[in-house]
Amino acid sequence: MTAVADNRQAQATVFTVLFAASACHMINDTLQAILQSIYPMLRDGYALTFTQVGIITFVFQVVASVLQPLIGTLTDKRPMPYLLPVAPALTLLGFVLLATAPNYHMILVAAALIGIGSSVFHPDASRVARLASGGRFGMAQSIFQVGGNIGTAIGPLLAAAIVVPYGQMSLLWFCGLAMVAIFLLYGVGGWHSTHLATTAKKAASKVSAYSQNQIVLALTILLLLMFSKFVYMASMHSYYTFYLIDHFGVSNGSAQIYLFVLLGAVAVGTYAGGPIGDRIGRKGVIWFSILGTLPFSLALPYANLFWTVALTIPIGLILSSAFAAMVVYAQELMPGRVGMISGLFFGVAFGMGGLGAALLGVLADHTSIATVFKVCSVLPALGLLALFLPKAAK
């Protein structure tokens, strides 16, 4: 009876840590989404071009892209569990600067700080999710990531409900969320600290089941698939509201609600991908989630308002299911390098999204927002490359 009770307590502790990491991911990505959701306000308030709007995303995401794999590699070699609370502290500072920014350059500094906060958060938080998984790595990664997707989904609603009516200074109200994340991540860091010896021992004992050539091929294909996924999602995150406003004449507030529909579908799809990958294998989930988006993405630029919003639901559901499977697949390619892989994949996601947003902004300035969505509609065709991935263990 004592053994059973101890086992139940251990399982409860694991899920407590897992959901705490997911909750902090929700807070982190809520704050990021609020930054992106107020682009129309920033454009009007600071007389920005689409190129300048794209550069905000570029700065925020490329800073995170460069730092995340570096931080992940560093903490693989020298774990620092109490580094986690630093992440929301940096984001908090970024929000203070964003709320009070006197000019465009200060907005870029604020965006960079928010990006640095994300770069500190993702590698170690993803590592903690895997450590707390109890062996169900896809499920754990999905729970962790769905927190971020929920945050990304509710960010536009909070922007529409609070920032749009009350102005830029109301961004200071969200600093309380960052303070909650600091508290929770301090506790998660303490839990991680007590498991460092076991984690290091297990990581050192694992050897990849794949050859070097298979690892290089698989990582190359995964990075190309991420290019397809995240450049397409950059068009949606950064320019979907502009598309709705300029193409259909909807209000800013209505555009944020329609963005929530898309991001809510992304949250649901993100959770589904991991457990399905645990059951049927990662490869099938990966190729279907990219290529399966193609019919809907091709139709979207030619749809009316109703069907535009309706098409974003299957796009969000299908396309988002890939990421958890991709991360776990890559972690299985290189056991013991969880931080580096997590940092690389989250970093590449940020970098491709940021670079894509900047380039798409230039394209929008020289053509139109509608052209951006027509160009991006073919990107999911790259999902065919997933057929060449080496078969992964379930």
Q: What is the pTM of this model?
A: 0.71
CB within 8 Å of 253: residues ≥ 6 apart: 160, 164
Token duo for residue 15: 């899920």
Mean residue pLDDT across the chain: 82
Q: What is the mean pLDDT of residues 260-273?
A: 81
| Per-residue pLDDT, 10 | 41
What pLDDT band is residue 224 in, cutting at 50, 70 and 90? confident
Q: What is the mean pLDDT of residues 218-234?
A: 84
Let me know the angle formed at the C-alpha of 232 by 229 and 238, rounded to the nearest 5 degrees.
125
Q: How many other CB atoms are there within 10 angstroms of residue 366's CB atom?
A: 10
| Per-residue pLDDT, 5 | 41
Let me know the angle formed at the C-alpha of 317 by 313 and 323, rounded to the nearest 5 degrees.
145
Q: How many other CB atoms are there within 10 angstroms of residue 3's CB atom?
A: 7
| Per-residue pLDDT, 4 | 41
Q: 361 with 53: CB under 8 angstroms?
A: yes
Q: Compute CA distances 194 → 99, 112, 144, 199, whole Å.
A: 38, 32, 21, 10
Out of 23-37, 156-170, 299-313, 329-343, least confident range: 329-343
Residue 373 has pLDDT above 80, yes or no: yes
281 φψ region: left (φ > 0), alpha (ψ -120 to 50), beta (else) = left
Q: What is the mean pLDDT of residues 294-315?
A: 94
What pLDDT band is residue 87 in, cutting at 50, 70 and 90? very high
Q: Compute CA distances 322 → 16, 191, 215, 277, whole Å.
A: 25, 29, 19, 9
Percent of the chain with pLDDT over 90: 25
Q: What is the mean pLDDT of residues 144-156?
A: 82
Which one is predicted more confidently, 49 or 339? 49
| Per-residue pLDDT, 256 | 78
Which one is predicted more confidently, 245 or 69? 245
Q: What is the mean pLDDT of residues 62-83?
A: 81
What pLDDT band is residue 312 in, cutting at 50, 70 and 90? very high
Q: Compute CA distances 368 → 235, 328, 360, whole Å.
A: 13, 38, 10
Q: What is the mean pLDDT of residues 51-73?
A: 82
CATH topology of domain 9-388: Growth Hormone; Chain: A; (1.20.1250)
CB within 8 Å of 105: residues ≥ 6 apart: none
| Per-residue pLDDT, 197 | 57
| Per-residue pLDDT, 30 | 93
Q: 37 with 161: CB under 8 angstroms?
A: no
Sign of CA dihedral 117, 142, 318, 153: negative
